[in-house]
């Protein structure tokens, strides 16, 4: 049962990831990207990590994909993409991907992941929160700083003082 | 007096019903019964309990409540019953359909109109059924330049997402379709799908009204999702759980609205915005952009979107009840099941029928469902009320409300919850718990 689900999820994820790269229509491409991200959420569910799976869904599918849709719909296509295509670039990309995957694969297989216990219980999200506030608190602080600085940066970039908003009531 | 069918006579209607029954019986006895016997002649019947299983025996078994009740009872605890009937789709769709009718009458009464009146003689009670038949029999028109796959999938996905949301709402102790440990996060994940579906269908219809409406829906929903999530964190902090059933159990003594009124108000406003209801109905503003992102839908596709919208309304009202109003908690008002029916049976004249499988539902569950439904209906009426009272607000006012005021209020709410927790009043180990 789990094997069949795993296979189906793999086919869905990889297939829609390839489709996201190859489809001409940008909207369909972003839909395929959403499918690929939801497939990753399915993997997390299979791995008994519903906490991560739900965040994957709400952050990646619910927010990132919405941002991509926004961009695709509101910006003219010629402004983001140029139509120059190069066959050799594609093959180079595929070759690079295979090299990277082989490298990561050898590292993972060599790391003793096979001897890991697979029947361990589901990790409680309260334990994750506790770990974040105690042992991994530097990581939490660094993440908070990165997020805060990126939000401040986004607000600075989006601020325009030369535009007067005539619609505003106040 | 009905103006729709002036020639209507009740006696003729009843006469035609008798006519119909007569013809059905005649055709069944002349054609149906011979066919049944011919088929039975060729079928080898099984032997069960040393008895040949004839159709008559099967029918007597079916009519025997002592044999069928355990089967029914067993069936009611299967997943398929939960998904299709009780806490799932059937129950929610029934409440949603009732909401559509009540909304029309309620708004009419607020604005001193009459509302649906003719269909069904008594206060237009059959109006909803008539509307349903109309939608089902109407032609589905697809715009010529629409993107057909997305346009077809849109309403189905919308109902699917609304159904996923409904499945997470616990109605009574143990009666919930899906009860994950991270239930509230699952709710956030499901809510995130609605703006995507809205904007994709709006784009696929290839019309400027739908596109403007879809973009408005996207802006509005994305802006209000953040205060929605933040306003619920107070409840999570105080109850110490993300599981919706456990959140209900934690409100056995106090409803969280008593301690977190700001969070409840913020959540209610975000509900109005997420549901695109007045005063935040800009995505469907019918006087500006026809019907917003629903403009190009017709027939049952529009019906599906409507069903999804009201399922979503029920689910949001249920979520409000679960998180702030104590869910199924309430004083025990449901009468206990009369034990005489189980022990003595019901005697009608010479026949005594015994029902050893009864009762089908226990008292606790019925009482919980009763309280949940009462509270949910109250919240639904509160959600409907602004439509009769308020005008529509401008898009920049909506975004200003969402991004500035509600997020600020939600943070104040979180600080109140943290204060209550660290002062030792509530939460795990608090003196009120």
pLDDT at B2: 52
Least Cα separation, residue B149 to chain A (angstroms): 10
Burial string for A66-92 (b: 16+ CB within 10 Å, else e) reads bebbbebbeeeeeeeeeeeeeeeeeee
pLDDT score of A141 more than 90: yes
Q: Please report, for residues A151, B90, B283, the alpha-carbon distance to residue B153 in angstroms, rounded to integers and kept in the order given.
A: 35, 22, 20
Model confidence at A100, pLDDT cuts 50, 70, 90, reads: very high
The torsion of the CA quartet B74, B75, B80, B86, rounded to 10 degrees, works out to -100
By C-alpha distance, the chain B residue nearest A170 is B397
pLDDT at A84: 64
pLDDT averaged over every residue in chain B:
84
pLDDT at A146: 95
**Nearest Cα to B202, choosing from B309, B273, B297?**
B297
> What is the pTM assigned to this prediction?
0.81
Rounded-to-integer distance, Cα A114 and Cα B347, Å = 69
pLDDT at A118: 63
| Non-local CB neighbours of B189 within 8 Å, separated by 6+ positions | A54, A55, A57, A58, A61, A62
B200 within 8 A of A31, measured Cβ to Cβ: yes
The torsion of the CA quartet B86, B90, B96, B101, rounded to 10 degrees, works out to -120
A84 within 8 A of A72, measured Cβ to Cβ: no
pLDDT at B64: 72
**Nearest Cα to B273, choosing from B150, B184, B377, B390?**
B390
- Residue B52, classed as helix, strand or coil, is strand
pLDDT at A126: 81
Q: Do A50 and B180 touch (CB under 8 A)?
A: yes
Tokens of residue B158, six digits = 């919308």
Residues of chain A neighbouring B222 (CB-CB closer than 8 A) = 63, 66
pLDDT at A102: 93
pLDDT at A165: 61
Contacts 24+ apart (CB under 8 A), A71-74: A72/A26, A72/A27, A72/A30, A73/A27, A73/B199, A73/B203, A73/B215, A74/B215
Backbone angles phi, psi at B134, to 5 degrees: -60, -45
pLDDT at B177: 87
Q: Do A70 and B218 touch (CB under 8 A)?
A: yes
Rounded-to-integer distance, Cα A154 and Cα B288, Å = 33
Q: Do A66 and B199 touch (CB under 8 A)?
A: yes
pLDDT digits (tens, 9 = 90+) for B176-221: 888 888 888 899 889 988 988 888 888 888 888 888 888 888 888 8
pLDDT at B65: 67
Place of tokens 């096979």: A114
Rounded-to-integer distance, Cα B413 and Cα B259, Å = 9
pLDDT digits (tens, 9 = 90+) for B9-54: 888 889 999 999 999 999 999 999 889 888 888 877 777 777 777 7
pLDDT score of B271 more than 80: yes
The residue among B104 and B75 whose pLDDT is bigger is B104
Give me Rg for the CA atoms of chain A.
Answer: 21
* Domain spanning A2-82: CATH 1.20.120.1200: yes
Model confidence at B242, pLDDT cuts 50, 70, 90, reads: confident
pLDDT at B116: 82
Backbone angles phi, psi at B427, to 5 degrees: 80, -175
Average pLDDT estimate for B351-364: 72
B193 touches chain A (CB under 8 A): yes
pLDDT at B158: 92
pLDDT score of B356 more than 60: yes
pLDDT digits (tens, 9 = 90+) for B297-321: 888 888 889 889 999 999 999 999 9
DSSP B140-162: P---TTS-HHHHHHHHHHHHHHH
Tokens of residue A154, six digits = 């986004």
By C-alpha distance, the chain A residue nearest B223 is A63
Interface test with A, best of B165, B196, B226, B241 (most A CBs within 10 A): B196
Interface confidence, given as ipTM, is 0.76
Average pLDDT estimate for B152-171: 91
B208-239 and B183-191 helices cross at what angle (nearest 10)? 170
Model confidence at A166, pLDDT cuts 50, 70, 90, reads: low
Average pLDDT estimate for B395-406: 85
CB-nearest partner of B182 from A51, A61, A169: A51
pLDDT digits (tens, 9 = 90+) for A9-21: 899 999 999 888 8
H/E stretch holding B353: strand B351-353
Least Cα separation, residue A125 to chain B (angstroms): 8
B188 within 8 A of A58, measured Cβ to Cβ: yes
Least Cα separation, residue B299 to chain A (angstroms): 26
CB-nearest partner of A58 from B181, B188, B222: B188
Residues of chain B neighbouring A66 (CB-CB closer than 8 A) = 192, 195-196, 199, 218, 222
CB-nearest partner of A50 from B181, B203, B396: B181
pLDDT digits (tens, 9 = 90+) for B60-87: 777 776 677 777 777 788 888 888 888 8
Q: What is the DSSP letter of A81?
A: -
CB-nearest partner of B182 from A62, A63, A125: A125
Largest CA distance in chain A: 66
Model confidence at A79, pLDDT cuts 50, 70, 90, reads: low
Least Cα separation, residue A112 to chain B (angstroms): 31
Rounded-to-integer distance, Cα B154 and Cα B137, Å = 20
């Amino acid at each position: 049962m789990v094997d069949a689900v795993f296979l189906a999820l793999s086919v869905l994820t990889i297939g829609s990831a390839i489709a996201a790269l190859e489809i001409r229509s940008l909207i369909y491409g972003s839909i395929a990207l959403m499918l690929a991200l939801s497939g990753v959420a399915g993997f997390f569910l299979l791995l008994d990590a519903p906490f991560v799976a739900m965040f994957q869904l709400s952050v990646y599918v619910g927010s990132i994909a919405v941002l991509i849709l926004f961009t695709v719909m509101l910006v003219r296509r010629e402004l983001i993409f140029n139509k120059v295509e190069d066959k050799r670039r594609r093959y180079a990309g595929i070759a690079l991907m295979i090299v990277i995957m082989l490298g990561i694969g050898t590292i993972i297989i060599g790391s003793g992941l096979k001897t890991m216990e697979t029947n361990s219980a589901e990790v409680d999200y309260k334990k994750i929160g506790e770990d974040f506030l105690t042992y991994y608190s530097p990581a939490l602080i660094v993440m908070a700083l990165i997020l805060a600085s990126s939000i401040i940066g986004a607000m600075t970039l989006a601020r325009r003082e030369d535009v007067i908003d005539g619609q505003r009531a106040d | 007096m009905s103006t729709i069918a002036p020639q209507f006579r009740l006696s003729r209607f009843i006469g035609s019903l008798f006519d119909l029954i007569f013809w059905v019986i005649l055709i069944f006895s002349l054609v149906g019964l011979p066919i049944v016997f011919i088929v039975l002649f060729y079928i080898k019947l099984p032997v069960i309990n040393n008895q040949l299983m004839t159709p008559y025996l099967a029918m007597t078994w079916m009519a025997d409540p002592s044999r069928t009740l355990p089967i029914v009872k067993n069936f009611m605890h299967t997943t398929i019953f939960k998904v299709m009937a009780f806490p799932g789709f059937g129950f929610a769709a029934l409440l949603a359909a009732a909401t559509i009718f009540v909304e029309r009458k309620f708004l009419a009464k607020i604005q001193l109109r009459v509302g649906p009146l003719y269909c069904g003689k008594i206060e237009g009670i059959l109006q909803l059924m008539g509307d349903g038949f109309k939608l089902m029999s109407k032609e589905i028109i697809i715009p010529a330049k629409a993107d057909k796959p997305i346009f077809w999938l849109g309403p189905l996905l919308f109902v699917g997402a609304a159904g996923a949301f409904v499945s997470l709402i616990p109605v009574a102790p143990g009666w919930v379709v899906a009860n994950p440990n991270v239930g509230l996060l699952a709710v956030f994940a499901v809510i995130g799908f609605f703006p995507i579906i809205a904007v994709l269908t709006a784009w696929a219809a290839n019309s400027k009204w739908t596109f403007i409406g879809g973009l408005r829906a996207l802006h509005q929903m994305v802006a209000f999702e953040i205060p929605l999530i933040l306003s619920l964190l107070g409840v999570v902090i105080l109850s110490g759980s993300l599981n919706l059933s456990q959140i209900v159990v934690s409100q056995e003594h106090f409803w969280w609205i008593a301690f977190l009124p700001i969070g409840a108000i913020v959540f209610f406003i975000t509900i109005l915005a997420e549901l695109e209801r007045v005063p935040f109905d800009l995505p469907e503003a019918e006087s500006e952009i026809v019907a917003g992102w629903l403009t190009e839908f017709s027939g049952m596709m529009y019906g599906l979107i409507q069903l999804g919208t009201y399922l979503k309304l029920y689910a949001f009202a249920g979520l409000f009840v679960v998180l702030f109003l104590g869910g199924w908690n309430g004083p025990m008002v449901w009468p206990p099941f009369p034990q005489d029916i189980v022990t003595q049976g019901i005697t009608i004249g010479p026949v005594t029928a015994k029902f050893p499988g009864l009762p089908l539902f226990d008292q606790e569950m019925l009482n919980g469902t009763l309280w949940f439904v009462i509270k949910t209906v109250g919240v639904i009426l509160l959600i409907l009320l602004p439509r009769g009272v308020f005008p529509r607000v401008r898009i920049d006012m909506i975004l200003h409300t969402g991004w500035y005021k509600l997020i600020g209020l939600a943070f104040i709410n979180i600080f109140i919850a943290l204060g209550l927790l660290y002062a030792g009043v509530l939460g795990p180990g608090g003196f009120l718990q």
